[in-house]
């Protein structure tokens, strides 16, 4: 099934576009997503190039599976050098543009250079145009999307757009699709802004047909029954990812007050079930997906449903992180971040850091433009997010840098309150509860990420449960009884499942639908999907190797600019004791973490002193050229 892949190269400086073919053998080794993106970056740019310079590459990629009418297959990856972390950058988005980009015939769209004035890129298969975006510059994402639709009246298109935050180079600016989906993490929107690129616009296309339609039907024809039989999927379909607030809070592991605690009073006000009962208008979907997990909320006169609704991470970062239990404030923050084009995780977490600094007297009203930044003041979000988006002098410009860089201006006491790795703020899963994530957050090549390995509870699942059975298809693990355990077994779990998640970010799969534990479809289903969808006879071993190759390419990209073991670290707050709702205390130790890190490097075939892959590992993966 492997044919040559088509790559579209767009040089904004020269205002030219050309296509190149990637041979089938290479395509199979780097079959899409950020594996293909990293391959193209390593071949095409100097890793030391500044993230916001014309030399940086901004790459939109899909995979051979993208665009098929199957749940969880409409994802598009953006790969670039991140201005937030200074490392390889990576972020995924769902919705409809992934499917239509794939149907346009391109595996990747590679943007280089910088336009001398604002532009947007229009793609209709072979017809590629760099169009003037002077009128669009300065618009919010919804305004720009509507203006593009007016300009291209009569054409049905899908767009990925930056808002003022991307234009103003906010370090964690996002690229927004459908006003409600985001390539959120790693500041990809700032890279787009640095290139004077306002939007990627793709004309809607006829979708490709699967290789074996009847075979595919045997895998996916009973999707509704399959959802009904999986309680996690039932709740994901009913409440979206926000159901995690309920589950984490019940146990006392909802990051609260900038990670000082695992619970806040009145967390129920921000729970997924509460959202469903109060402000949820409807559930939306991505192309071809039966799960329909995307929440759309409405608060009359305040929150517009066109901006979707808050996911779990947003409920947490603008909720418990900030000690805020006002759901309306969370929904409004979500809307403003989507309007201005800002990552809700880094934004909410950076505000939470500022709030703790304010409570402790490290920041004063002089630093906050007079805004009262006490924990719980969700009413501050509106003003703060706008100041950040426009990099207004004072608190806006400060927080637009992200918490790690902002803290440097206020000394060690402020730096000790930062909860980030490689400069990227931590997502809302506590490592005291899920210690494998301590390893994953530390080693992950683009900063802390909760969607880069499976989470620890799978190792505590009953043996007849898919949560136990599926990970054990990848490698044999030891059963774990209780939280807080970080050992060799957990390090192995971190590495093995990280490879699987890395492969999913290569094949552009939704990690709520496809995965190695609790999801709708598991590893064996994925083998069948590849066969029926594309004719690709693959194996778990090949898929795991594809995932590992992506990890090692990112690692090598970073190593070329000095990243290594010293950067695979935990913030101080990760070592705080956390008492759960049953009164049990959980705490990681620095020694235990370092030992687990040694184990991880050993499993990965990386040098334990430097954290860099060995020559043998590069050779095993066909990466000698690095």
Partner 1 sequence: MTVKINKNETEVEEGLTAEQLLASRGNPRAAIWVNGKQLLKAEYGSHVIQPGDEIKILRIAAGG
Residues 513-552 touching partner 1, rule: CB under 8 A, are: 517-518
- Closest by CA to 162, choosing from 111, 205, 203, 107, is 111
Query: Is 241 an interacting residue with respect to partner 1 (CB under 8 A)?
Result: yes
Alpha carbons 89 and 445: distance in angstroms, whole number: 8
When the beta carbons of 315 and 362 are compared against partner 1, the nearer one is 315
Alpha carbons 588 and 529: distance in angstroms, whole number: 40
Query: Is 427 an interacting residue with respect to partner 1 (CB under 8 A)?
Result: yes
Q: Which stretch binds partner 1 (CB under 8 A): 60-68, 243-251, 523-531, 551-559?
A: 243-251
Find the binder of partner 1 among 21, 266, 372, 465 (CB under 8 A): 465
Find the binder of partner 1 among 47, 69, 288, 457 (CB under 8 A): 457
Query: Is 248 an interacting residue with respect to partner 1 (CB under 8 A)?
Result: yes
Find the binder of partner 1 among 149, 250, 540, 576 (CB under 8 A): 250
Q: Please list the residues that pair with 182 across neighbouring strands.
A: 176
* C-beta of residue 615 within 8 angstroms of C-beta of residue 592: no
* C-beta of residue 32 within 8 angstroms of C-beta of residue 506: yes
Query: Is 586 an interacting residue with respect to partner 1 (CB under 8 A)?
Result: no
Neighbours of 242 (CB within 10 A): 30
- Closest by CA to 279, choosing from 327, 319, 320, is 327
Q: Which stretch binds partner 1 (CB under 8 A): 162-170, 463-471, 549-557, 570-578?
A: 463-471
Cα 153 to chain centroid distance, Å, stands at 32
Query: Which residue shows structure tokens 């500022």?
Result: 354
Find the binder of partner 1 among 321, 512, 593, 600 (CB under 8 A): 512
When the beta carbons of 17 and 480 are compared against partner 1, the nearer one is 480
Find the binder of partner 1 among 261, 460, 595, 626 (CB under 8 A): 460
Alpha carbons 521 and 354: distance in angstroms, whole number: 41
- Altogether, the residues listed in the chain come to a count of 626
Alpha carbons 148 and 469: distance in angstroms, whole number: 48
Query: Is 579 an interacting residue with respect to partner 1 (CB under 8 A)?
Result: no
Q: How far is the CB of 75 from partner 1 (least distance, A)?
A: 15
Q: Exposed/middle/buried for 69, CB within 10 Å: 0-12, 13-18, 19+? A: middle
Find the binder of partner 1 among 12, 244, 438, 526 (CB under 8 A): 244
Alpha carbons 251 and 582: distance in angstroms, whole number: 7
Find the binder of partner 1 among 147, 149, 247, 595 (CB under 8 A): 247
Query: Is 275 an interacting residue with respect to partner 1 (CB under 8 A)?
Result: no
When the beta carbons of 39 and 514 are compared against partner 1, the nearer one is 514
* C-beta of residue 308 within 8 angstroms of C-beta of residue 294: yes
Number of chain residues interacting with partner 1 (CB under 8 A): 45
Tell me the backbone φ, ψ of residue 508, rounded to 5 degrees: 60, 55
Q: How far is the CB of 235 from partner 1 (least distance, A)?
A: 6
Query: Is 454 an interacting residue with respect to partner 1 (CB under 8 A)?
Result: yes
H/E element, 407: helix 403-407
**Structure tokens given for 29:** 């080794």
Pairing, β 119-124 against β 127-132: antiparallel
Pairing, β 119-124 against β 197-203: parallel
Q: How far is the CB of 459 from partner 1 (least distance, A)?
A: 10
Q: Which stretch binds partner 1 (CB under 8 A): 3-11, 246-254, 334-342, 603-611?
A: 246-254
Q: Which stretch binds partner 1 (CB under 8 A): 138-146, 175-183, 265-273, 301-309?
A: 265-273
**Structure tokens given for 344:** 């809700």
Alpha carbons 409 and 415: distance in angstroms, whole number: 9
Q: How far is the CB of 109 from partner 1 (least distance, A)?
A: 27
3-state secondary structure of 550: helix
When the beta carbons of 27 and 312 are compared against partner 1, the nearer one is 312
String of contacts with partner 1 for each residue 211-240, x by CB under 8 A: --------------------xx-xxx----
Residues 281-320 touching partner 1, rule: CB under 8 A, are: 311-313, 316
Query: Is 581 an interacting residue with respect to partner 1 (CB under 8 A)?
Result: yes
Alpha carbons 356 and 62: distance in angstroms, whole number: 40
Residues 371-410 touching partner 1, rule: CB under 8 A, are: none
- What residues line the site for partner 1 (CB under 8 A)? 231-232, 234-236, 241, 243-244, 246-248, 250-252, 268, 271, 273, 311-313, 316, 427-429, 450-451, 454-455, 457-458, 460-463, 465, 467, 483, 511-512, 517-518, 580-583
């Amino acid at each position: 099934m492997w044919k040559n892949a088509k790559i579209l190269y767009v040089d904004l400086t020269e205002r030219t576009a050309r296509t190149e073919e990637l041979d089938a053998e290479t395509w199979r080794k780097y079959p899409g997503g950020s594996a293909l993106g990293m391959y193209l970056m390593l071949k095409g740019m100097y890793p030391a190039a500044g993230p916001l310079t014309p030399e940086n590459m901004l790459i939109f990629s899909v995979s051979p599976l993208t665009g098929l009418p199957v749940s969880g297959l409409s994802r598009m990856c953006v790969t670039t050098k991140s201005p937030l972390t200074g490392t390889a950058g990576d972020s995924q988005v769902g919705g409809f543009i992934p499917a239509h980009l794939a149907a346009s015939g391109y595996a990747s769209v590679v943007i280089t250079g910088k336009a001398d004035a604002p532009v947007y890129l229009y793609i209709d298969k072979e017809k590629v145009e760099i169009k003037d975006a002077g009128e669009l510059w300065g618009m919010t994402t919804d305004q720009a999307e509507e203006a593009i639709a007016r300009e291209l009246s009569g054409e049905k298109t899908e767009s990925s757009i930056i808002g003022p935050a991307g234009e103003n180079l906010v370090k964690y600016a996002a690229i927004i699709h459908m006003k409600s989906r985001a390539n959120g993490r790693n500041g990809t929107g700032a890279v787009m802004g640095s290139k004077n690129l306002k939007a990627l616009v793709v004309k809607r296309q006829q979708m490709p047909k699967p290789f074996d339609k009847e075979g595919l039907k045997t895998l996916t024809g009973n999707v509704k029954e399959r959802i009904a039989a999986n309680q996690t999927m039932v709740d994901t379909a009913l409440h979206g990812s926000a159901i995690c607030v309920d589950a984490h809070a019940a146990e006392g592991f909802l990051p609260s007050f900038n990670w000082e605690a695992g619970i806040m009073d009145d967390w129920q006000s921000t729970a997924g079930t509460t959202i469903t009962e109060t402000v949820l208008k409807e559930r939306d979907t991505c192309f071809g997906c039966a799960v329909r997990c995307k929440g759309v909320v409405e608060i009359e006169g305040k929150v517009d449903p066109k901006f979707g609704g808050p996911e779990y991470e947003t409920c947490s970062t603008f909720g418990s992180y900030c000690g805020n239990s006002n759901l309306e404030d969370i929904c409004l923050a979500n809307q403003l971040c989507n309007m201005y084009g800002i990552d809700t995780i880094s934004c909410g977490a950076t505000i939470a850091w500022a709030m703790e600094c304010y409570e402790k007297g490290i920041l004063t009203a002089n630093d906050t433009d007079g805004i009262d930044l006490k924990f719980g003041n969700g009413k501050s979000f509106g003003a703060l997010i706008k100041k950040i988006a426009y990099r207004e002098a004072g608190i806006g410009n400060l927080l637009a840098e992200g918490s790690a860089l902002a803290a440097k201006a206020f000394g060690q006491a402020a730096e000790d309150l930062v909860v980030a790795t490689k400069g990227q703020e931590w997502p809302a899963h506590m490592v005291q509860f899920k210690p494998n994530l301590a390893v994953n957050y530390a080693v992950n090549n683009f900063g802390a990420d909760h969607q880069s390995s499976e989470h620890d509870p799978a190792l505590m699942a009953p043996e007849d449960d898919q949560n136990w059975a599926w990970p054990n298809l990848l490698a044999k693990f030891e059963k774990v009884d209780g939280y807080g355990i970080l050992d060799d077994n957990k390090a192995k779990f971190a590495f093995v499942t990280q490879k699987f998640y890395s492969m999913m970010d290569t094949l552009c799969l939704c990690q709520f639908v496809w995965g190695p534990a609790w999801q709708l479809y598991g590893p064996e289903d994925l083998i069948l999907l590849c066969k029926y969808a594309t004719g690709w006879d693959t194996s778990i071993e090949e898929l795991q190797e594809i995932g590992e190759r992506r990890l090692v390419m990112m690692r090598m990209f970073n190593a070329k600019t000095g990243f290594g073991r010293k950067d695979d670290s935990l913030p101080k707050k990760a070592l705080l004791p956390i008492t759960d709702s049953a009164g049990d205390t959980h705490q990681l130790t620095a020694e235990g973490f370092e030992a687990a890190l040694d184990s991880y490097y050993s499993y990965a075939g990386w040098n334990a002193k430097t954290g860099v892959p060995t020559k043998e590992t590069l050779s095993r993966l066909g990466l000698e050229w690095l």
